[in-house]
Amino acid sequence: MSPIISRLVHQQQKAIKVLIITGVLALSLMVGQIVPAKYLGYLLVLIIAFSGVLIYINYPQLGLLALVAGGLLVNVELGTSTSTSINIVVVLLPMLIGVWFVDRFVRLREIRFIPSRTNPPLIALVVTSLLAFGIGQLTWFYYARQAPLLSQLGGLAIFILSAGAFIFTANVIDSIKWLKTLTWMFVALGTLFVFSRVNAVLGRTMENILPAGATGSIFWVWMLAVTYSQFVYNRDLKIIWRLVLLGLVAATLFVAMYLGYGWKSGWIPPLVAMGVITWLRFRRGRYLLTIGGVILIWLIASELIQSDQYSYVTRVEAWKIILNEIIRVNPIFGLGPANYRFYTPLFPIMGYWVEFNSHNNYIDIIAQIGVLGLISFLWFAWEVWRLGWGLLKKNLGGFSNAYVVGAMGGLVGMLIAGMLGDWVIPFVYNVGLKGFRASVLGWIFLGGLVAIQHIHANKQADVDQGTE
């Protein structure tokens, strides 16, 4: 292109920009004159929302950051009961996925997920949940009512949104820079939570700000998994920052194990996650670490049973009733999301005819979406572990290596948390939609493993092409 033509094109582009700005200003003045003042606020919200959508379409990673930050900080709940309480995560996540999905279809003319061995089990989990929801509309016990439809939809949403969070993260994180930003933002916000428990003044200040449900068991699992793995594995960090992480690990353990010792879900799963990270770090000592870990788990389990006999006995009785009496009417697909709680009064527990929960994610999954649902979930967990194990063999760099190990530890910690309560896939009548604020963190960080695999594969392909 000649210099004269180039200059003319440049001048034309400047003229178009000036016309656009002038038109926007003129339109704003016209709107101010025509639209009544009481509606200007709504118009401003629409303009801001539209601008946010435009930014999000170009940088969907910002939506993921907003989701994590909003879940931990935005203390807004719509509804008064467990089954109808809606928070920002439950609203924002499907919006983010929906806009991203439509954008790919309209602008890119394709809907294709990053290929991963984790996709089939997640699809199976979602499909099984949908089938179980439909089957759950049947009458299984004539002398008991089903859960309200809103509760069933809430339970179904938790299954679908959990899988959606994983797939969404895996597909929108396209660089290690964004994964670092997500990780360190979470650590910064988590530090605020930790020290609000340690410092009384900060604690009173944050008490009315921080939302309920944000610091469920999964929050503590990932807080320790992320900080400990980065401290142990990330050699790219300066020594001062590694010491800061070590101090944060110590402070988190102090809060979880000393101040909150009575809440076992707050420190046992995170401790297991740290144990797995340590086991992965010290290869030569794995045999001794395994023996020591088995002994420690046996001692902790024995102490827990002896210290809280009533909780242990009632949980075992609940599991027996749900497995032997309720689930047996349809073990393959379950009784539908949220329904089984309404069938429990038909079978007395320790002499009482009352509604009760299993307080166990695996029993909950079978009761709601059947054996097929549990197989899909365990299949997913296995594929995530296999993915992490394969990535361990690659030289990904300090942060990425630490992230992979932390995710593997976090995965095992989540699986242990599932034994102590419905922390991984919250049951709508127990941990509920409020608890999804914390549980979604696990699905997001595990999705980061797929992102790392894809980013590394693309870099390797570029290197191979360069050498050819």
* DSSP letter string, 352-377: B--------HHHHHHHHHHHHHHHHH
Q: What is the pLDDT of residue 163?
A: 96
d(C-alpha 313, C-alpha 266), whole Å? 21
Q: What is the pLDDT of residue 468?
A: 41
d(C-alpha 223, C-alpha 218), whole Å? 8
Q: What is the DSSP string of 96-160?
A: HHHHHHHHHHHTSS---PPP-TTHHHHHHHHHHHHHHHHHTTS-S-TTSPPPPHHHHHHHHHHHH
Stated as kind and residue range, the H or E segment containing 295 is helix 286-307
Q: What is the pLDDT of residue 36?
A: 56
pLDDT averaged over 10-residue windows placed end to end, the chain, 468 residues: 52 54 50 50 55 75 91 75 69 89 75 87 96 92 88 94 95 93 95 83 70 85 96 92 94 88 88 92 78 78 68 86 92 94 90 88 96 97 96 87 95 95 93 91 96 86 55
- Asked whether the beta carbons of 176 and 453 are under 8 A apart, the reply is no
- Could you tell me the maximum CA-CA distance found in the chain, to the nearest angstrom? 93
Which of 184, 247, 232, 182 has its CA nearest to residue 401?
232
210 φ/ψ sector (left φ>0, alpha ψ -120 to 50, else beta): beta
Site of tokens 């979470």: 186
- Asked whether the beta carbons of 204 and 197 are under 8 A apart, the reply is no
The residues near 94 (Cβ < 8 Å, ≥ 6 apart) are 157, 161, 164
d(C-alpha 461, C-alpha 449), whole Å? 18
Q: What is the pLDDT of residues 180-223, one digit of tens each?
A: 999 999 999 999 888 888 776 676 667 667 777 788 899 999 99
Distance of CA 412 to the CA centre of its chain: 15
Q: What is the pLDDT of residue 418?
A: 94
For 117, other C-beta atoms within 10 Å of its C-beta total 16
d(C-alpha 294, C-alpha 302), whole Å? 12
φ, ψ of residue 76 to 5 degrees: the values are: -130, 125
**Coil, strand or helix: which one is 284?**
coil
pTM of the model: 0.86
SS3 assignment for 397-449: CHHHHHHHHHHHHHHHHHHHHHHHCCCCCCCCCCCHHHHHHHHHHHHHHHHHH
**Coil, strand or helix: which one is 78?**
strand
Q: What is the pLDDT of residue 326?
A: 92
The residues near 57 (Cβ < 8 Å, ≥ 6 apart) are 99, 103, 107
The residues near 420 (Cβ < 8 Å, ≥ 6 apart) are 217, 264, 265, 268, 269, 359, 360
d(C-alpha 3, C-alpha 24), whole Å? 32
For 36, other C-beta atoms within 10 Å of its C-beta total 6
Site of tokens 């979604």: 440
d(C-alpha 328, C-alpha 265), whole Å? 29
Q: What is the pLDDT of residue 31?
A: 47
Residue type, 306: Q
